[in-house]
Structure 1
Amino acid sequence: MAEVEEPKFNSLADRIAALNGQKNFTAPPSTKRPPPPPPPGARKSTSQAPIPNGNGIARPQIPQNPNLPPRPQKQNPPSLPQRTNTSESVVETPSSLIGRDAPPPLPNRRSSTQPSPALPTRRPSAQPFHNRRGSNSSEVSHISTISNLSLNPVSSRTSTTSTETQPARRVLAPSLDQAKLPPLPPSRKEREAQAAKEAAEREGTEIIKAPLLSTRSAPAVPQTGSRPSLPPRLPSRPTHSQVNDNPSVAPRRLPPPPTGFVRPATTFESSRKPSLPGQRPSSEAPPPVPISSRPTFAQIDAVAVRTSTDCLLCRDFSAPDSVAAQYPNHSLPRHDPVGYLANVLCGPFSSATDKARAIFTWCHHNIAYNVEEFFGKCIKGRSADETIFYGKAVCQGYAEVYQAIAQRAGLQCIVVGGHGKGYGYKPLAKGERPPPKDATGHAWNAVCIDNGEWKLLDACWGAGSVGNEQYNKHFTPYMFTLSNDLFGLSHYPSNDQHFFRNDGRIPSWEEYYIGPLNGEPAEVFGNVTEEGISKFNFSPMEKHIPVYSGGVVRFQFSKICEHWDPERHGRGKSYLLLMKIHGLDGRKEDLVPVETDGFWWWIDIPARDLGAPGQTIFLYALTTLNKKDARGVTKEEYYRTKNSGCYSMNWGIYMKWELV
């Protein structure tokens, strides 16, 4: 190509215009977007007409220098593809400019004074790739490469061939062999299926055994020979360990229904009478009882003795009671009397229950209720040592002395404060509301006895009672033997954690104050419990009995314990119990003997035969007959002596009711 002399320009504007007119001129890199290429077939215009710019303002055409040689014309230059990575579309060339030599108009540009908007920040790539091309196709390839590398390492070889020639390339780790992974834990369905399979295998191989039942008091039967094989017992049939749990006690029977009571027939009853045991067909006969496992009488008696020691109501406390009577307070050393009593009262016994009983009985013998300070409202606080030598105290003093001796003897013991239905308590009338809650005014103890059981006791009420502002000293052992549930009928602690009930329930104040019945209870005298009769399980429990009810009144009583024996645990054979009534309209007094089966006492009397409203009826015990002890006297002997016309009798009062 011939060398062309570079033309001379008079000004910088002429040079710029000449450079702009050249097609092969490459402008230096600028921040502004370059103008689009001219459309194919376009020609330069030699006219000097102004060309509109992107802002709509006419821009004068710069005249070409005549000294410049004409540029070679290219025939139909190929059209360039439109770029897709630009943010703004290219302005189409107006049809009026087609065929002109002038360059096409520039696209709309924003004012250079306005800053370009900031682009959003790009997230850094976790897998950087070098030498990326600035095209849209390269971005698509890069995205597909990442997805292929992460999802399918084998098939991504076709997508990464374009990057294999690059000097720096990220090499991914080889795929993990599935055979080297640890086994997955079994699913829930697999575990259930395995458990069902194991259960089926056990059912096919295990020997069915009878259910194990409690044998708390059953004796160990020695094996004298080979035991014959027996079929498995049914769960519903009681074993010998159940029958002989308390073998010394006869089966507990309910008293018969009232005399005038007739059970009404219902539609659910069968018209066919049940067959007697002797008339049962041979096909329904039960299997024979295995005689080889039956205990001997000696073993039954041994179990009976052990059972009686587990029950506080019939336990023999003669040993701790005798020890407690040997150490009066005036014979104690002046130095550390609490430690001395803890040693002499509790040292001879290994049982925590016997230790607790010895302290309880000692308080009865040596501490009297301080009625002078109580009624004079001048109660003085004393220490446990001072109370022991002073010999008088109120309920708080009793509880503190008991706690001090028990703790020195190694027993767990606390003082419980609350409300007690003692002196000054008046039962509510029927329908009367209880007073506001006030769990104060009394104190008692809770001590931990055998088997870790917390036992509630009242040493103050166990030593005696107060009446007519006088102290009546008498031993009340049931304040030690009473269960915690029955103890709570007359004691309400201020702390809910000190009920120590077997069921764990916390009674409300209203439930405690009203009691088991909505009304005044019948009056029960203290010697009832000493004779083995429960003062909490009798009927009617209401004090007032209506006379004109037109029905039959059932008087019913029970023993304090199922295995309580009057000769072994009491003072001898039981007394004969009689009801003192006043006859029709109160015109004839009579004494009616009460029936008994060894556990229950009962009698049915028409309400009209009890007497007239306003009269009082009693439950008597025949104590002497013809100047002899009447223990063990039967009903027949009583009637025979009474019909003889020459006799003498003495009575003891157990209970009292009023007729309304």
Structure 2
Amino acid sequence: MADVEEPKFNSLADRIAALNKQKNFTAPPSSARRPPPPPPPASGRSPSRVPTAGTNGTASQSPNIPARSQEGSQPSLPQRTNTLTDRAIDASPSLPTRPTPPPLPDRKSSVQSSPALPARRPSAQPLNSRRGSNSSEVSHISSASNLSLKPVSSRTSTTSTETQPTRRVLAPTLDQAKLPPLPPSRKEREAQAAKEAAEREAAEIVRAPLLPARSAPTVPQVGPRPNLLPKLPSRPAKPSAPSHVGESPAAPRRLPPPPSAFVRPTIALAAPSKPGSRPSNETPPPVPISSRPTFAEIDAVAVRASSNQAASCLVCRDFSAPDSVAAQHPYQSLSRRDPVGYLAGVLCGPFSSATDKARAIFTWCHHNIAYNVEEFFGKCIKGRSVEETIFYGKAVCQGYAEVYQAIAQRAGLQCVVVSGHGKGFGYKPLKSGQPPPPRDPTGHAWNAVCIDNGEWKLLDACWGAGSVSDQQYHKQFNPLQFYLNNELFGLKHFPKDERYFFRSDGRIPTWEEYIIGPVRGEKAQVYGTTMEEGVSEFTFSPAEKQIPVYSGEVVRFQFSKICEHWVPERHGKGKSYLLLMKIHGVDGRKEDLVPLETDGFWWWVDIPARDLGAPGQSIFLYALTTLNKRDARGVTKEEYFRTKSSGAYSMNWAIFIGWELV
């Protein structure tokens, strides 16, 4: 087709006016799209003519559309009808068939129907089968025509007429159970590691210095043995056999001597012997005695077992070596460069036992630190470091505990400072019926140290160095605060942290139980020399201070040794004193001294309450210290009565315990 020169326009208004004059135009062929395929051939028609629909509905050959060539030339689009009358359509001239931009329609014709579109070309893109999708046809519609009319929407539904982008192929559905698990991310790995670490910490048994690793069953408890005491005189009976629980091992029972000759006893209804059997009167073969221990060996084993048990007892243990080492290093002779390290070396270096090391530090505090009564009663206690306390030579309970902990830890011992309440200076026992005060476990400090066999031992270096009375400090070594077991130690110490009771039974006493104590009411007065003589202040009875006179009962006074292995000649100052009860007789008109019975561990005596005295009087437990101006240690009850019956004698006593009569 020959090119036609396109008219030139100077402005947009001239172009619009030219388009309005044409009234009809044909759209130029699109150069960006592939032409539609040629129509199928039909008989009696020339392939170069394309029938079009006329105004009367009959097929006719449009004179305005050129014939399509057989070589596949691009056909022109069908004639575009206008929204005006048929006459205006027929009268409008056709535009030349050249690639000119389509003219703009009349503004008045914008409300009419859109011009007809050419037939859609079926898409040649292969469609993949998609199971379970109702929008596969919508997804794969050719975008050749839809993209030119409206933008592509991102939505896909069964009722939408919008199409998806070209060549969009959806992946087939997969079974999630067959998919391999994704590797964990870094955050997930870190969270899992933190969770496992927390579980290990919760499951791990921490052996901190706050919890006892194991109890020490070998350390005997300072308390009464469970054996029975002799009964009252009104009901005489044979002394009961001592119990085996809590006692020291009894002497081994010797076997009876073997017989000189074995004689088989005759049995009347003995069965006849079988042929070939051994005669009934034949002696048995001799028993081999090469491996049988002798009586001397049996006794040696018993003595050794008893000595080992006594050595493990802190009450009976010989601490002369640690105590002597502790007295050789006063604080004035210490080097100021590292006093804690120096003390740890000289006090604990000579000993391999943790118990001996702990005892050496305990004794050193007694010799070198005094209680600072000036700051305590002046209420101006100053905080000092451990080194300052050592060279100052004075401290309160907190300073004692910190010095002990510093030296013990430098010596390799596990040691902690325990704070809480102590029944020391200023403490007043509850009276009968008085309610306990509110919980306040403060005001005192002591230590817990791990000694032999992994046992955690409570000790009070402050109370072990001396005591305070009348606002004065009295220096006096008190080993009770070192060897007392944790159960009895807890009667006068209540820690702020309940983990620091360290009881062998694992029980945690309450504040009310601690304040009230094992005795309901005021406890009997115990004097300081009692424990030194091997008499336990925790086992005496009656434990209450007040004793009713007109109860009509017989009152038993009984006491025990502080330890089963206590030997007064070895652990004390000599033989035991004779204990006597000083009473006032009926209505307090006749004083008397009644000696106590003893079996080597218990002391006891039974006195009618009416014979104790009158209400308001006091009775005491005495120890006969001198008799006729000589030491009374080892004096028996018979010697006492014999001397007393002579009429000429002199006696001196020491008070152990006192009661009041009501």
1:336 aligns with 2:338: yes
1:366 aligns with 2:368: yes
Within the candidate set 502, 509, 512, 1:510 is matched to: 512
1:469 aligns with 2:479: no
Residue type of the alignment partner of 1:390: Y
Query: For 1:629, what is the secondary structure of its paired residue?
Result: coil
Within the candidate set 621, 632, 635, 2:634 is matched to: 632
Within the candidate set 595, 598, 602, 1:596 is matched to: 598
User: Any conservation in 2 of the 1:444–1:459 contact (CA below 8 Å)?
Assistant: yes
Query: For 2:391, what is the secondary structure of its paired residue?
Result: helix
Query: For 2:519, what is the secondary structure of its paired residue?
Result: coil
TM superposition shift of 1:302:
2.1
Give, in whole Å, the separation in 1 of the partners of 2:559 and 2:598.
9
Within the candidate set 229, 235, 254, 1:255 is matched to: 229
CA 1:488/1:333 → structure 2, altered by over 3 Å: closer, same or farther? same
Residue type of the alignment partner of 2:470: N
1:296 aligns with 2:270: no
Match of 1:423 in 2: 425
Give, in whole Å, the separation in 1 of the partners of 2:403 and 2:378.
22
User: Any conservation in 2 of the 1:429–1:519 contact (CA below 8 Å)?
Assistant: yes
Give, in whole Å, the separation in 2 of the partners of 1:569 and 1:301.
18
Residue type of the alignment partner of 2:606: D
Give, in whole Å, the separation in 1 of the partners of 2:131 and 2:661.
99
Match of 1:653 in 2: 655
Instruction: Output one character per residue of 1:389-445: Cα deviation in whole Å (capped at 9) or x when no partner.
Output: 111111001101111110111101000000000011110011111000000000000
Instruction: Output one character per residue of 1:92-125: Cα deviation in whole Å (capped at 9) or x when no partner.
Output: xxxxxxxxxxxxxxxxxxxxxxxxxxxxxx998x
Within the candidate set 522, 528, 531, 2:530 is matched to: 528
Residue type of the alignment partner of 2:234: G
Within the candidate set 580, 583, 589, 2:582 is matched to: 580
Residue type of the alignment partner of 1:470: Q
Query: For 2:590, what is the secondary structure of its paired residue?
Result: coil
TM superposition shift of 1:259:
2.0
Give, in whole Å, the separation in 2 of the partners of 1:387 and 1:640.
57
Instruction: Output one character per residue of 1:459-485: Cα deviation in whole Å (capped at 9) or x when no partner.
Output: 011111111111111111011001101
Instruction: Output one character per residue of 1:215-274: Cα deviation in whole Å (capped at 9) or x when no partner.
Output: x99xxxxxxxxxxxxxxxxxxxxxxxxxxx99xxxx9742112223489xxxxxxxxxxx
Give, in whole Å, the separation in 2 of the partners of 1:523 and 1:329.
37
Give, in whole Å, the separation in 2 of the partners of 1:541 and 1:252.
18
Residue type of the alignment partner of 2:558: Q
User: Any conservation in 2 of the 1:252–1:599 contact (CA below 8 Å)?
Assistant: no
Match of 1:537 in 2: 539
- Map of 1:36-435 to 2, 5 A cutoff? 253-261=227-235, 292=292, 295-435=297-437
Match of 1:64 in 2: none
Give, in whole Å, the separation in 2 of the partners of 1:590 and 1:123.
116
User: Any conservation in 2 of the 1:489–1:512 contact (CA below 8 Å)?
Assistant: yes
Deviates more, 1:556-565 or 1:601-610: 556-565
Match of 1:497 in 2: 499
User: Any conservation in 2 of the 1:584–1:609 contact (CA below 8 Å)?
Assistant: yes
Within the candidate set 438, 441, 455, 1:439 is matched to: 441
Instruction: Output one character per residue of 1:126-179: Cα deviation in whole Å (capped at 9) or x when no partner.
Output: xxxxxxxxxxxxxxxxxxxxxxxxxxxxxxxxxxxxxxxxxxxxxxxxxxxxxx
Within the candidate set 442, 446, 462, 1:460 is matched to: 462
Give, in whole Å, the separation in 1 of the partners of 2:649 and 2:533.
25
Give, in whole Å, the separation in 1 of the partners of 2:386 and 2:639.
54
Query: For 2:428, what is the secondary structure of its paired residue?
Result: coil
Instruction: Output one character per residue of 1:571-616: Cα deviation in whole Å (capped at 9) or x when no partner.
Output: 2111100001111111111111110000100000010111111111
CA 1:571/1:262 → structure 2, altered by over 3 Å: closer, same or farther? closer
Query: For 2:558, what is the secondary structure of its paired residue?
Result: strand
Instruction: Output one character per residue of 1:474-511: Cα deviation in whole Å (capped at 9) or x when no partner.
Output: 11101100110111000000001111111111110000
Taking structure 2 as the reference length, what is the TM-score of the superposition? Answer: 0.57
Match of 2:166 in 1: none
Instruction: Output one character per residue of 1:311-367: Cα deviation in whole Å (capped at 9) or x when no partner.
Output: 111111111111111111112222211111111111110000000001101111111
Give, in whole Å, the separation in 1 of the partners of 2:388 and 2:560.
43
Residue type of the alignment partner of 1:257: K
Residue type of the alignment partner of 1:627: K
Residue type of the alignment partner of 1:353: T
Give, in whole Å, the separation in 2 of the partners of 1:467 and 1:643.
42
Query: For 2:571, what is the secondary structure of its paired residue?
Result: coil
TM superposition shift of 1:300:
2.3
Aligned-residue Cα RMSD (Å) equals: 2.4
Query: For 2:610, what is the secondary structure of its paired residue?
Result: helix
Residue type of the alignment partner of 2:232: P
Instruction: Output one character per residue of 1:527-576: Cα deviation in whole Å (capped at 9) or x when no partner.
Output: 21111111111110000000010110000101111122111222211110
Among the aligned pairs, what percent are the same residue?
73
Give, in whole Å, the separation in 1 of the partners of 2:337 and 2:580.
55
Give, in whole Å, the separation in 1 of the partners of 2:485 and 2:542.
22
Runs of 4+ aligned residues of structure 1 deviating over 4 Å after TM superposition are: none
Paired residue total = 393
Deviates more, 1:373-382 or 1:563-572: 563-572
User: Any conservation in 2 of the 1:446–1:454 contact (CA below 8 Å)?
Assistant: yes
Taking structure 1 as the reference length, what is the TM-score of the superposition? Answer: 0.57
Residue type of the alignment partner of 2:432: K
Residue type of the alignment partner of 2:320: S
Give, in whole Å, the separation in 1 of the partners of 2:131 and 2:623.
104
TM superposition shift of 1:526:
2.1
TM superposition shift of 1:384:
1.2
Match of 1:178 in 2: none
Residue type of the alignment partner of 1:523: Q
Within the candidate set 547, 552, 555, 1:553 is matched to: 555
CA 1:123/1:526 → structure 2, altered by over 3 Å: closer, same or farther? farther
- Map of 1:603-614 to 2, 5 A cutoff? 603-614=605-616
Instruction: Output one character per residue of 1:607-653: Cα deviation in whole Å (capped at 9) or x when no partner.
Output: 01111111111101111112221111101111111222222221111
Residue type of the alignment partner of 2:623: A
Give, in whole Å, the separation in 2 of the partners of 1:387 and 1:651.
41
Residue type of the alignment partner of 2:584: H
Which blocks of at least 5 consecutive residues in structure 1 are unaligned? Answer: 1-121, 125-215, 218-244, 264-281, 283-289
Give, in whole Å, the separation in 2 of the partners of 1:123 and 1:432.
89
User: Any conservation in 2 of the 1:254–1:600 contact (CA below 8 Å)?
Assistant: no
Residue type of the alignment partner of 1:457: L
